[in-house]
Amino acid sequence: MINMRLLLLGLLATGCIHAGQSVITFNPTNSMCIDSLVSNMQAAGCDVVSVEKSTYGIKTFSCHSFDDKDADSSWVKNEFYAIALGTAMPDNTTPICSDPFIVLSTN
């Protein structure tokens, strides 16, 4: 019985160790698409995510600062557009995510 407890304690303790992994931090929004986008951009090596707002209900997300070794990632090199529901999508974009608030597309 004591061996089982020690084994369980050992498994629980090692499950909390994250050696060599970085932690992604950001301010969550009400949109799962935007939260996922920012998480993926940061996980791909983006240091600074740029957000530009337009007057037509479109927000443009792009990676403003990243390491050169990460330049090949689509999360780093593409622009992403968060479009309010009911707003026309920009030309030459492909939708990649939708939630109750926005449609997320990329070029």
Q: Which of 106, 101, 66 is nearest to 89 (CA)?
A: 106
* Between residues 15 and 52, the one the model is more confident about: 52
Consecutive H or E run containing 98: strand 94-98
CB atoms within 10 A of CB 58: 18
Cβ(82)–Cβ(102) under 8 Å? yes
Query: What would the mean pLDDT of 75-103 be, rounded to a whole number?
Result: 90
Q: Residue 80 in 3-state DSSP?
A: strand
Domain boundaries, the chain: 27-106
User: Which pair of structure tokens corresponds to residue 83?
Assistant: 């479009």
Claim: this prediction has a pTM higher than 0.85: no
Residue-wise pLDDT for 27-81, tens only, equals 788 899 999 999 999 888 888 899 999 878 789 999 988 876 667 889 998 999 9
